[in-house]
Structure formats: C-alpha cells, structure tokens
Structure 1
Amino acid sequence: MEKELFTGSKVAEVELVYRSKVKASQRPQVKTSLDAYMILSELWDEGTMDLQESFKVLMLNRGNKVLCLYNASLGGITGTVADPRLIFTAALKASAVSIILAHNHPSGSLLPSRADEELTMKFKGAGQLLDIKVVDHLILTAETYYSFADEGLI
C-alpha cells in the first residue's frame, strides 16, 4: 500500500553541532567542588553576583575537563528558572558525560531552599535517564559557595 505524500510540505531540520575554540589541552579540569567554584567565579558576571540570580551549568567530558559553560537563565532578585529540557539539550549537544549545576544567591545566604533541593533531585533523575551524571550543584555568593555533593545531598 502506498502512502500519499503532501506536496509542498515543509519540515524543520535539526542540526547537532558543537564547536569549541578551546584546545583540549587548555580545558580546566574539575577534581573538587573548589575547582568548580573557582572556574565559575572567574566566568560569572561580577556585577550580577549580588544583584540577581543566575543559573549556569558546567559541561564536562569523561576526564572531568570543562567542555563549556551554559548560561541557562538570568532571573530576578529572589529566583530564576532552570529548565531541565534546555539544559540537557545543551549537554547532549556538547557530548557532556556529566554536568555541574550552579546558581547564585544575591542575599549572601548559602542555605539551599527546598526548591533548590527538589530541582537538584529532578536534574539527577533526568540525568540518570540520559546517562549524564549530575556531579554537583553549587550555590555561589560573592565570598564563598555551598556544594550539594560535599554535603552528601547528591
């Protein structure tokens, strides 16, 4: 039985491309939460750390070297949105084996909110389905950081 085709149909095309301008030998390696914090603080827009919440993700290869930083969202004073679909799309596109979630608290408080904890578990579950490990979730302030991994929460 033949299928009738619609003439003039148009379909969108998806292209998976990852381009890095950083040589593999120049990529920073993350061995500890402090390493991740140092990399993130260097890349964070200094003017927004105490002003508004941002959510960023470090994408890592098998050797825990940073493939890229994904700026997932820029929010308001008390919150920001982190859409797992967009973040895992970026991770898949970069061929990341693992990711480190990060967001800042402009208030200076390092304590994770219940929403922070729930979001972390949501990402961890989604990552397991995609075989992309969520290594850590850092909460940053201008002075220091909190690591979900170091606290045994991931």
Structure 2
Amino acid sequence: METRINEISLSYRPKLKAEQWPKISSSSLAASVVFENWDQNTISVYESFKILLLNNSNKVKGIYQISHGGITGTLVDLRLLFAVALKSLSVALILVHNHPSGTLRPSEADKHLTRKIKAAADLLDIKILDHLILNPKGEYFSFADDGIL
C-alpha cells in the first residue's frame, strides 16, 4: 500500500534587484517608506499591523501586512509574522502599525506585543530594529528612538 502525502513548497519572488531596495538608516526614513506604501483610503479607518522585512544591510526586501482589524486594535499572530520573516530569509524587521485616531502614544498592549515579538525574534536570531506607530497625517512614534524597544 502506497502512502501519499502533500508536498510543501516555499518560495519568495522579489520584483526588484537588491541594488534598488531602499536602505533604512533612521526611523524617519522607515516611517516615510511605509507611509508611502500604505493604502491612504484605510489608514484613518482601521488599524493594521505590517512588517518591513530587511536584509543584513538594512535594505528593505518588502513590506507585508500581518493583519488588519477594527478601529482600536488588530490581532497579530506571531506564527504568521515569523513564517513570513523566515520564508523571505530576512535577518531584521521593523514592526509598524497605525492608530486611526491619530494618537501616537503606544498603549500597554502595544508595548506588551513588542516585547513578545522581540523575545521570539531573539530565539530565531532575527533583529527587531524598531516598532513604529503611524497616524493618518504621516506622523510617527518610534519605540527605538524613545528607548522602549
């Protein structure tokens, strides 16, 4: 009797050459890159959580939306976040989410989630360089700049 099982295949298909990837050297540049690539029709409507995937030179391999939720929050499944990070062979991440209300102050839930993601990333040797909160005006808060990362 022959046993058949599914074959799992993972792939990553970059559309740009590495020379074209923007290099992140500051929180303001990271915020600008993400804000330019955010759907401006939804940034003031509901909260979303995204990650900037970076190579070892801090060049952006891509942006991936992990989740989108309601007006005041969104759930982040760490398994999905790290599946994307590992699949793309990223060595560093910048976490990003928006506050549709416009406030830039991180909540206790934001801080707790950041600590949880950082702890998991440490086990996988993936660096969490920052966690940015964006508002609909394009302003941002940086956990790294504020010393709470």
Alignment TM-score > 0.5, same fold: yes
- Over aligned residues, Cα RMSD in angstroms? 0.9
Question: Shift of the alpha carbon at 1:13?
Answer: 2.2
Residue 80 of structure 2 is aligned to residue 86 of structure 1: yes
SS at match of 2:41: helix
Q: How does 1:97-116 map to 2 (within 5 A)?
A: 97-116=91-110
* Equivalent residue letter for 1:113: S
> Matched residues in 1 for 2:48 and 2:16: separation?
24
Question: Shift of the alpha carbon at 1:35?
Answer: 0.7
Percent sequence identity over matched residues? 51
Question: Shift of the alpha carbon at 1:33?
Answer: 0.4
After superposition, give the CA deviation of every residue in 1:75-129 in whole Å (9 maximum; x if it has no partner). Answer: 1111111111101100101100000000000011111111100000000000000
Q: State TM-score, norm by structure 2.
A: 0.96
Residue 122 of structure 2 is aligned to residue 128 of structure 1: yes
Q: Give the structure 1 partner of residue 46 of structure 2.
A: 52
> Matched residues in 1 for 2:58 and 2:114: separation?
20
Q: Give the structure 1 partner of residue 24 of structure 2.
A: 30
Q: State TM-score, norm by structure 1.
A: 0.93
Return the index of the structure with the highest Cα Rg. 1
Instruction: Specify every segment of 5 or more residues in structure 2 that has no aligned partner in the other structure, as ranges.
Output: none
Question: Shift of the alpha carbon at 1:15?
Answer: 1.4
Instruction: Give aligned pairs, total.
Output: 148
Residue 147 of structure 2 is aligned to residue 152 of structure 1: yes
Instruction: Specify every segment of 5 or more residues in structure 1 that has no aligned partner in the other structure, as ranges.
Output: 1-6
> Matched residues in 2 for 1:16 and 1:29: separation?
26
Higher mean C-alpha deviation, range 45-54 or range 7-16 = 7-16
> Matched residues in 2 for 1:32 and 1:106: separation?
23
* Equivalent residue letter for 1:128: D
> Matched residues in 1 for 2:7 and 2:72: separation?
38
